[in-house]
């Protein structure tokens, strides 16, 4: 069991003079669910425009090698809160996990250091949040329309509106209340520095748009990813998964082809879809149905009812056949609805930035935008995440920096979501417990103000990251695996149940990870080297899997 910080340490951190507290930077951490870098225009201009998210990067820094430790919502959040890999914080998977809120977490340490902490939005860790002065959370995944929020006193309250806007409303309301307590004549900012965690439901499945955005992107035809028709040759675990757009994306739940309960053939998830849109008021439902019902009627007239049983990816789906056309139709519907959800999110991020600027807080606040993991937007023919392949291993990460941190532009060093906790603690001037496994990113952010120690830390920066995914058997049937990623190569081991397979990729020559090189004689020396590096990381992070 990881040691806990001593009481003396926590008390010492807690007794920071108020004058010093008001000078320390605030933290606004905005995290979305399943938002991938491909769908953020400062990373990729092919699909959508995200001017407000891009504004953070333009005024600050953009990380180009930002990764998660476990590409799954709950485990990823636990890694962020604790600064530890899943096997150390105890929350390895969503199916059976319950986060141990009694353990050491970054919000608790920030509170001990004199920060006021608040969490608004998605929690998804089963247990009750701890370490926050205030919280309002969505139950489980939450709902896009007229969602329930759980309050600290245990009340479950239905709020009218769209979830992305409501989360922003609540975050700004908390900031208003917090800044209203500033004593007369106090320095700019609040009486205590704050750490506000804004956790959005967007862009999680089933990508239900704000009704004001329902017709956006309908004239857009999105380009197919180069590896859209991947046949998974040489990748045994990839071939066994269940997250193909053609075969596994539910025509009702995911692409919203619903006329009425009586006129729509039932699918595995159609009842869940009816529940979600059933939350709309009659007036809202009319706006929703005015768009999706005619679209659904045309779909069933054209395709009939055998729509949801496309075969596994194969060459037959590339040759202009009926299956190929339906596959691409499903992809376009997926992309359009996802893009609509991103648009609303971008607008709400803009509201937060505008508020901070109007209140004079922006220049003394670290603003972080990221997601709990990446996502597949048709790469390999997939949706969802989980795999250690690039699209789900990577996550967007942009930061607007407070005064004193002068780095701007691109940061190429390899960072991971276990690094957020020590970064925030270091920014707060709080001690970083030795059992935290991440490293502070502050040396990368100082620019010309970097000290000799900072420069030494950058020279000695990690040359590889470690990943471990545990949730199997579960939705999408992604097998358990762990691995290492360096600046050029990736070594993955899929294990347990019906698979025991290794994969090796050269990311420079094979950026789409289509060609497994493991076992090829020409790569024998590299393979041995990566095995040694992998074992060293497992020892460093004390992962008993080795």
Cα separation of 452 and 443, whole Å? 10
Residue with tokens 């809160």: 81
pLDDT surpasses 50 at 204: yes
Confidence band for 312, pLDDT divided at 50, 70 and 90: low
- pLDDT for 146 equals 98
From the list 406, 529, 519, 397, the residue with the least C-alpha distance to 463 is: 529
Confidence band for 511, pLDDT divided at 50, 70 and 90: very high
**Angle of CA points 370, 376, 377, to nearest 5°:** 100
- pLDDT for 15 equals 34
Cα separation of 20 and 50, whole Å? 36
Q: What is the pLDDT of residues 35-85, one digit of tens each?
A: 999 999 999 999 999 999 999 999 999 999 999 999 999 999 999 999 999
- pLDDT for 306 equals 65
- The alpha carbon dihedral of 374, 379, 385, 391 has a sign of negative
pLDDT surpasses 90 at 311: no
- pLDDT for 384 equals 98
Is there a contact between 222 and 376 (Cβ–Cβ < 8 Å)? no
Q: How many CB atoms within 10 Å of residue 229?
A: 18
How much is the average pLDDT of 94-108?
Answer: 95
Cα separation of 397 and 62, whole Å? 6
Q: ω before 403 within 30° of 0 (cis)?
A: no
**Please, what are the domains in the chain?**
7-208+337-458 (3.40.720.10), 226-329 (no CATH), 465-540 (3.30.1120.10)
| Average pLDDT across the chain, whole number | 92
pLDDT surpasses 50 at 313: yes
pLDDT surpasses 60 at 20: no
Is there a contact between 438 and 86 (Cβ–Cβ < 8 Å)? no
CA dist list (Å): 268 to 132, 207, 249, 382, 439: 38, 17, 10, 19, 43
Is there a contact between 343 and 213 (Cβ–Cβ < 8 Å)? yes
Confidence band for 189, pLDDT divided at 50, 70 and 90: very low
DSSP 154: S
- pLDDT for 16 equals 37
Cα separation of 199 and 206, whole Å? 17
Both tokens assigned to 450: 């970097």
How much is the average pLDDT of 230-246?
Answer: 95
Q: What is the pLDDT of residues 363-416, one digit of tens each?
A: 999 999 999 999 999 999 999 999 999 999 999 999 999 999 999 999 999 999
pLDDT surpasses 60 at 216: yes
- Where are the strands (E) in 364-494, listed by range? 365-371, 397-400, 409-411, 415-416, 464-469, 481-486, 489-494
pLDDT surpasses 80 at 546: no
- pLDDT for 545 equals 80
474 CB burial (10 A radius; 0-12, 13-18, 19+): middle
pLDDT surpasses 60 at 314: no
How much is the average pLDDT of 15-35?
Answer: 73
How much is the average pLDDT of 12-28?
Answer: 57
- pLDDT for 307 equals 60
Q: How many CB atoms within 10 Å of residue 184?
A: 4
CA dist list (Å): 265 to 141, 255, 258, 261, 305: 26, 14, 9, 8, 7
- pLDDT for 21 equals 38
Cα separation of 497 and 31, whole Å? 33
Q: What is the pLDDT of residues 31-42, one digit of tens each?
A: 999 999 999 999
């Amino acid at each position: 069991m990881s040691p806990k910080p001593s009481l003396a340490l926590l008390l010492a951190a807690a007794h920071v003079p108020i004058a010093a507290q008001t000078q320390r930077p605030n933290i606004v951490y905005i995290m979305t669910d399943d938002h991938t870098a491909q769908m953020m225009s400062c990373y990729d201009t092919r699909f959508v425009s995200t001017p407000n998210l891009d504004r953070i990067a333009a005024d600050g820094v953009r990380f180009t090698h930002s990764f998660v430790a476990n590409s799954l919502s709950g485990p990823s959040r636990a890694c962020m809160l604790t600064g530890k890999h899943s096997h150390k914080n105890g929350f390895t998977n969503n199916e059976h996990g319950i986060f141990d809120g009694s353990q050491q977490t970054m919000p608790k340490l920030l509170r001990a250091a004199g920060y006021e902490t608040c969490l608004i939005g998605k929690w998804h860790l089963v247990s009750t949040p701890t370490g926050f002065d205030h919280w309002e959370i969505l139950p489980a995944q939450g709902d896009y329309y007229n969602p329930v929020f759980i309050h600290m006193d245990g009340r479950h309250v239905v709020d009218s509106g769209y979830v992305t806007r409501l989360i922003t409303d609540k975050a700004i309301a908390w900031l208003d209340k917090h800044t209203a307590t500033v004593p007369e004549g106090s320095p700019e900012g609040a009486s205590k520095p704050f750490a506000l965690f804004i956790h959005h439901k967007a862009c999680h499945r089933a990508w239900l748009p704000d009704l004001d955005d329902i017709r956006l992107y309908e004239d857009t035809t999105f380009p197919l990813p180069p590896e859209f028709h991947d046949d998974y040759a040489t990748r045994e675990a990839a071939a066994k998964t269940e997250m193909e757009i053609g075969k596994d994306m539910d025509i009702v739940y995911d692409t919203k082809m619903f006329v009425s309960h009586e006129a729509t053939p039932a699918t595995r998830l159609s009842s869940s879809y009816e529940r979600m849109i059933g939350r709309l008021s009659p007036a809202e439902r009319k706006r929703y149905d005015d768009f999706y019902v005619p679209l659904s009627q045309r779909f069933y007239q054209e395709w009939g009812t055998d729509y949801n049983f496309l075969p596994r990816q194969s060459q037959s789906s590339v040759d202009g056949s009926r299956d190929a056309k339906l596959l691409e139709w499903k992809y376009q519907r997926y992309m359009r609805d996802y893009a609509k959800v991103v648009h609303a999110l971008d607008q709400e991020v803009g509201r937060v930035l505008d508020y901070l600027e109007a209140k004079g807080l922006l220049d003394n606040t670290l603003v972080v935008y990221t997601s709990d993991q990446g996502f597949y937007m048709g790469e390999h023919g997939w949706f969802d995440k989980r795999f250690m392949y690039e699209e789900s291993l990577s996550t967007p990460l942009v930061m607007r920096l407070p005064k004193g941190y002068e780095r701007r532009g691109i940061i190429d060093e390899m960072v991971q979501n276990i690094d957020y906790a020590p970064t925030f603690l270091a920014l707060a001037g709080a001690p970083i417990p030795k059992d935290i496994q991440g490293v502070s990113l502050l040396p990368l952010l100082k620019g010309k103000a970097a000290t000799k120690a900072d420069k030494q830390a950058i020279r000695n920066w990690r040359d590889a990251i470690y990943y471990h995914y545990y949730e199997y058997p579960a939705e999408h049937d992604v097998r358990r695996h762990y691995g290492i990623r360096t600046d050029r190569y990736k070594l993955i081991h899929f294990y347990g149940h019906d698979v025991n397979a290794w994969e090796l990729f050269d990311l420079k020559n094979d950026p789409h990870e289509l060609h497994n090189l493991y076992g090829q004689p020409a790569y024998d020396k590299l393979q041995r080297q990566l095995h040694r590096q992998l074992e060293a990381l497992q020892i460093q992070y004390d992962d008993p899997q080795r």
